[in-house]
Amino acid sequence: MRTFYESDIRKRTLVLSFILAAWAVVVALRLVQIQVFGHARAKMAVLDQNRDKVTIEPLRGRILDRHGEILACSLPAVSVNIRPVEKETPADERKKVRALQGLLGLSEKEVSTILGRLKDNSTFTYVKKKISEEEAAGVMALKLPGVEFEPATRRHYPLRSLAAHVLGGLSLTEDNKTGVEARYDDVLKGEEGSKIVYQVRGGREYQTQVIKSPVPGRDLVLTIDATIQYYVEKELARAVAEHKAAWGVVIVMDPRTGEILALASLPSYNVNDFPGPENAWMNRAVQLSYEPGSTFKIVTAAAVRERNRVGFGELFDCTAGFIKVGGLTITDHDRENVLSFPQVLIKSSNVGTVLFAQRLTIAEYYDTIKAFRFGTKTGIDLPREDSGFIRSANDWNKRTSLPHIAIGYEVRATPLQILQAMNVYATGGLLVRPRVVKQGPEAAGNGEAPARVISEKTANELVNRVFELVVEEGTAKAGRLDGFRAAGKTGTAQKYDRASNSYSTEKYTSSFVGFVPVERPRLSMIVVLDEPKEGYYGGQVCAPVFRDIARQVLRYLRVPPERPLPARILTAGMAKGERP
Amino acid sequence: MVRRKWSPRGIALGAALLVAVMGTLTFYVWYQTESVKLGIDIGGNEDRIRELEQAIEALKMRKAALLDPARVEKIARESLGLIDPNDNEVIYEKRDRSR
DSSP character at residue A81: E
Examine the fold and report which residue of A166, A197, A221 is the final residue of a domain before the chain moves on. Answer: A221
Q: How far away is chain B from the Cα of A566, in angstroms, using its nearest Cα?
A: 9
Examine the fold and report which residue of A221, A249, A274 is the final residue of a domain before the chain moves on. Answer: A221
Domain ranges across chain B: 10-84
Reported ipTM exceeds the 0.95 cut: no
DSSP character at residue A296: G
Q: A409, A493 in Cβ contact below 8 A?
A: yes
Using a CB-CB cut-off of 8 Å, the residues of chain B touching A132 are: none
Q: For residue A130, what pLDDT is reported?
A: 84
Rounded to whole angstroms, the Cα distance separating A33 from A55 reads 36
Q: Tell me if A4 is assigned to some domain.
A: no
Same domain, A232 and A276: yes
Q: For residue A199, what pLDDT is reported?
A: 65
Q: A–B: how many Cβ contacts below 8 A?
A: 47
Give the residue among A166, A368, A371 at the shortest CA–CA distance from A286. A166
b/e per residue A524-541 (b: at least 16 CB within 10 A): bbbbbbbbbeeebbbbbb
Q: For residue A142, what pLDDT is reported?
A: 87
Q: For residue A577, what pLDDT is reported?
A: 46
Using a CB-CB cut-off of 8 Å, the residues of chain A touching B86 are: 568
Q: Which domain holds residue A525?
A: 226-556
Same domain, A166 and A234: no
**Are B58 and A75 inside 8 Å of each other by CB?**
yes
Same domain, A160 and A177: yes
**Are A558 and B54 inside 8 Å of each other by CB?**
no
ω into A214 cis (within 30 of 0): no
Q: How far away is chain A from the Cα of B90, in angstroms, using its nearest Cα?
A: 9
Q: Is A561 on the interface with B (CB under 8 A)?
A: yes
Q: How far is CA A469 from the centre of its chain?
A: 35
Same domain, A213 and A120: yes
Which stretches of A372-400 are DSSP H helices? none
Q: For residue A210, what pLDDT is reported?
A: 85
Q: What is the largest CA-CA distance in chain B?
A: 124
**Three-class SS state of A491:** strand
Q: Tell me if A1 is assigned to some domain.
A: no
Rounded to whole angstroms, the Cα distance separating A400 from A398 reads 6
Same domain, A279 and A183: no
Domain count, chain A: 2
Using a CB-CB cut-off of 8 Å, the residues of chain B touching A560 are: 92
Q: How far is CA A24 from the centre of its chain?
A: 76
Q: Tell me if A569 is assigned to some domain.
A: no
Q: Is the pLDDT of residue B99 over 50?
A: no
**Are B65 and A159 inside 8 Å of each other by CB?**
yes
When pLDDT is cut at 50, 70 and 90, the band that residue B37 belongs to is: confident
- Whole-model pTM? 0.84
Rounded to whole angstroms, the Cα distance separating A229 from A241 reads 18
DSSP character at residue A447: T
**Three-class SS state of A209:** strand
Same domain, A146 and A254: no
Using a CB-CB cut-off of 8 Å, the residues of chain A touching B88 are: 565, 568
Which stretches of A407-510 are DSSP H helices? 415-426, 456-462, 468-472
Mean pLDDT by 10 residues, chain A (580 residues): 71 90 93 86 74 82 95 90 85 90 88 89 82 84 87 90 95 87 94 80 66 92 97 98 97 96 97 88 96 98 97 96 92 93 97 97 97 96 96 95 96 98 97 88 66 96 97 96 96 93 93 96 97 94 98 94 71 44
**Are B61 and A158 inside 8 Å of each other by CB?**
yes
Same domain, A366 and A442: yes
Q: Tell me if A29 is assigned to some domain.
A: no
A251: domain CATH number is: 3.40.710.10
Residue A523 has phi, psi (to 5 degrees) of: -150, 145
Q: A466, A346 in Cβ contact below 8 A?
A: yes
Beta bridge partners of A125: A82
Helix (H) or strand (E) holding A180: helix A179-183
Q: Tell me if A23 is assigned to some domain.
A: no
Same domain, A331 and A349: yes
Q: A504, A495 in Cβ contact below 8 A?
A: yes
Give the residue among A212, A329, A222, A295 at the shortest CA–CA distance from A479. A295
Which residues 32-61 of B are in CB contact (within 8 Å) with A?
A: 54, 57-58, 60-61
Helix (H) or strand (E) holding A512: strand A502-516
Q: Tell me if A535 is assigned to some domain.
A: yes
Q: For residue A102, what pLDDT is reported?
A: 87
Q: For residue A201, what pLDDT is reported?
A: 59
Q: For residue A574, what pLDDT is reported?
A: 45
Same domain, A347 and A369: yes
ω into A267 cis (within 30 of 0): yes
Q: Is A565 on the interface with B (CB under 8 A)?
A: yes
Q: For residue A202, what pLDDT is reported?
A: 56
Nearest to B57 among A75, A226, A565 (CB): A75
Q: How far is the CA of A395 from the CAs of A166, A375, A501, in angstroms?
A: 36, 14, 20
Quick: pLDDT tens for B53-86.
988 988 999 999 999 999 999 999 999 999 998 8
Using a CB-CB cut-off of 8 Å, the residues of chain A touching B57 are: 73, 75
Q: For residue A84, what pLDDT is reported?
A: 84
Q: For residue A580, what pLDDT is reported?
A: 40
Q: Reduce the secondary structure of A240-261 to three states and give it as a string.
A: HHHHCCCEEEEEEEECCCCEEE
